[in-house]
Chains A and B, each alone.
Chain A
Amino acid sequence: MDWVFLSELAINGALTGLLYSLFAIGLVLIYKASSVPNLAQGGLTMVGAYVVLALSHDAGLPLWVAIPLGAVIMFALGFGIERVALRRLAGRPVVMILMLTLGLDIFLRGTTLAIWGGTSRSMELGVSYEPLFVGDIFVSRIHLVGAAVTIAFFVAFMLFFRTRTGVKLRAIADDYMASWSVGISVERGVGLSWALASVVALGAGVIWGEIQGVDQSLSLLLLKGLTVAVLGGLDSILGAVIAGLILGIVENVGADFLDPLVGGGSRELIVAAVLILTVMIRPHGLFGRHDIERV
């Protein structure tokens, strides 16, 4: 057994996993507010990447301006989605909201295709691809940066949910009717959740755009992001982070064992197995809340 190699697989798996978590945090924010997994989170991630590209490459702004400005644009886009589309669905079955997010995803992909075309473009964040060795272990710098971004978002949200606005958002996640009854603006809260999830999507879009190039396939990150969110419990940000670590490690280490046996493609099988087993064995995920039952 090569322990150095195994730890390298595990560590890089964990870093990749945290990048899935970054994506999943956006899903969790919207699930808390709207009670649906946002099928457009992949679309938003892709749009986030394109917005930064448009501001930096096309408009010539430096990245340190383009990224915050892009975040503001995404924030407004998230609010706009609630105002224009979601508000009309208030009181309708949740499955209708789910279908709306699917439609939104298709719409976003079509729009970016129409504006920027389908050729893959590179993000050019300027992160070095020189190998970085920690002891004997090789790690990718961009993954390290991405993992740091994930942790930063995680800490920021943990603090945010303790503020008064954050507490109001958690109240909305608990009970719309009770929230209205004490004058909480549920609509604004849902809008804010979408806005924050869109900003997270920009973060994920920039990092993943750097790793795999910017094109419509960024929206396919939804599959792994959703798996992580479900494993974490759909409504827990901490759950999303831990589940990302788990999926990343299991996928990277597992694939190394399985690929020689099945001749490649085992990553997808592992992700599928995690998703299906979670739903079957532990539908509330690792950290999802059950409805409280008192005896």
Chain B
Amino acid sequence: MQEKVEAQPILSMNSVEVLYDNVMLAIKGVSIQVPKGEMIALLGSNGAGKSTTLKAISGLLKAERGRVSRGEIRFNGTDITEMLAQNRVELGICHVIEGRRVFEHLTPDENLTAAAPTGMSRSDLSGEKEKIYNYFPRLAERRNSLAGYLSGGEQQMLAIGRALVTQPSLLMLDEPSLGLAPFLVAEIFGILQKINKEEGMSVLLVEQNALAALEIVSEGYLIENGRVVMNGTAEALKSNSDIQEFYLGGGEGTDFHNVKHYSRRKRWLS
């Protein structure tokens, strides 16, 4: 870990434990820092505790009968551990939840309207929408059709655009690449990078697709069984042999086959 002589991080999470239903310990003392204006990845396999970590930060745990039972979460220095989700969005934290979850029976335009902060003026909202449509031209074309009929990639873009309307200073994304073709992942990650550069927005990116994620972030954390097991710059992680073998698909180990096998089976079952 490097010495903290630089500016205060936008997000700092210290030894956080999360309990679901008061019994199920899902993460066990996770500490993560997001420096201002940086893009950070949180990597790990299924069930490692990535989504739980994001929900602890956004306050969405409560909706799933979960709570932070130890540790604290600070946003720009303010303790937000017990704050309502709604107030955290007002502070500037927005969480693009797993599985896209756009408002299917609303148009993309209405999806953006729904997310507008209560105080935002009509002209600010339309300015904000135009900005988002500039980032995602595919959305602009389909702004008046039902969001439920958009393609997976378009829905992911809409989910991100919808989060941008809340004007976050920290955007958290939960597996945005899931189920998307590689060219779409590249397109979406490219846009995220562009927004990060142009607006100085900090990003916390949760991914199983470590290969794609490590291309755009500066630093990453690896989480396993509810614990951070590795932390380093993107370069360091990319060259780490464990990461290469298990997460970048470089090795021919059994784990790699298991992952493939699992996803194939899942498709049959769903």
Cβ–Cβ < 8 Å partners of A100 in chain B:
none
Contact assessment for A183 and B90 in the assembled complex, using a CB-CB cutoff below 8 Å: yes
Contact assessment for A91 and B115 in the assembled complex, using a CB-CB cutoff below 8 Å: no
Which B residues between 53 and 69 are near A, CB-CB below 8 angstroms?
A: 58, 60, 63-65
Residue B166, interface by CB 8 Å: yes
Residue A294, interface by CB 8 Å: yes
Chain A contact residues, majority secondary structure: helix
A182 to B89, CA, bound (A): 7
With A91-B64, A182-B165, A183-B115 given, is the CB distance from A174 to B95 under 8 Å?
no
Contact assessment for B63 and A183 in the assembled complex, using a CB-CB cutoff below 8 Å: no
Which A residues between 167 and 199 are near B, CB-CB below 8 angstroms?
A: 167-168, 170-171, 173-185
The 8 Å CB contact of B85, one of A90, A171, A180, A292, is A180
The 8 Å CB contact of A167, one of B97, B113, B151, B163, is B113
A164 to B116, CA, bound (A): 9
A173 to B105, CA, bound (A): 9
Cβ–Cβ < 8 Å partners of B101 in chain A:
175, 177-178, 181
A167 to B115, CA, bound (A): 9
Cβ–Cβ < 8 Å partners of A181 in chain B:
58, 60, 85, 89, 94-97, 101, 163
With A170-B110, A183-B86 given, is the CB distance from A175 to B103 under 8 Å?
yes
Residue A282, interface by CB 8 Å: no
Residue B137, interface by CB 8 Å: no
Contact assessment for B114 and A170 in the assembled complex, using a CB-CB cutoff below 8 Å: yes
A149 to B227, CA, bound (A): 61
Residue B102, interface by CB 8 Å: yes
Residue A87, interface by CB 8 Å: no
**A interface residues, tally (CB under 8 Å):** 24
Residue B162, interface by CB 8 Å: yes
Interface string of B107-130 (1 = CB under 8 A from A): 000110111110000000000000
**Chain B residue at smallest Cβ distance from A174:** B103
The 8 Å CB contact of B103, one of A164, A171, A294, is A171
Which A residues between 138 and 183 are near B, CB-CB below 8 angstroms?
A: 164, 167-168, 170-171, 173-183
Cβ–Cβ < 8 Å partners of A291 in chain B:
104
Contact assessment for A171 and B114 in the assembled complex, using a CB-CB cutoff below 8 Å: yes
Cβ–Cβ < 8 Å partners of B114 in chain A:
167-168, 170-171, 179, 182, 184
Interface string of B23-47 (1 = CB under 8 A from A): 0000000000000000000000000
Task: Report the minimum CB–CB distance from A290 to chain B (whole Å).
Answer: 10
Contact assessment for B89 and A183 in the assembled complex, using a CB-CB cutoff below 8 Å: yes
Which A residues between 240 and 295 are near B, CB-CB below 8 angstroms?
A: 289, 291-292, 294
A171 to B165, CA, bound (A): 15
Contact assessment for B102 and A167 in the assembled complex, using a CB-CB cutoff below 8 Å: no
Interface-central residue, A90, A171, A175, A185, by most chain B CB under 10 Å: A171
The 8 Å CB contact of A183, one of B96, B117, B146, is B117
Residue B212, interface by CB 8 Å: no
Task: Report the minimum CB–CB distance from A126 to chain B (whole Å).
Answer: 42
Residue B106, interface by CB 8 Å: yes
Contact assessment for B89 and A292 in the assembled complex, using a CB-CB cutoff below 8 Å: no
Contact assessment for A178 and B97 in the assembled complex, using a CB-CB cutoff below 8 Å: yes
Interface string of B203-238 (1 = CB under 8 A from A): 000000000000000000000000000000000000
A168 to B113, CA, bound (A): 8
Cβ–Cβ < 8 Å partners of A289 in chain B:
105
Contact assessment for B110 and A91 in the assembled complex, using a CB-CB cutoff below 8 Å: no
The 8 Å CB contact of A177, one of B63, B106, B110, B115, is B63
Interface-central residue, A184, A185, A289, A292, by most chain B CB under 10 Å: A184
Residue B148, interface by CB 8 Å: yes
A168 to B166, CA, bound (A): 14
Residue ranges of A at the interface with B (Cβ–Cβ < 8 Å): 90-91, 164, 167-168, 170-171, 173-185, 289, 291-292, 294
5 A-B residue pairings within 8 Å (CB atoms): A164-B113, A175-B103, A180-B60, A180-B85, A182-B162
A-B interface, 9 closest residue pairs, ranked by CB to CB distance from nearest? A183-B89, A292-B148, A171-B114, A182-B115, A174-B103, A178-B101, A171-B103, A167-B113, A292-B104
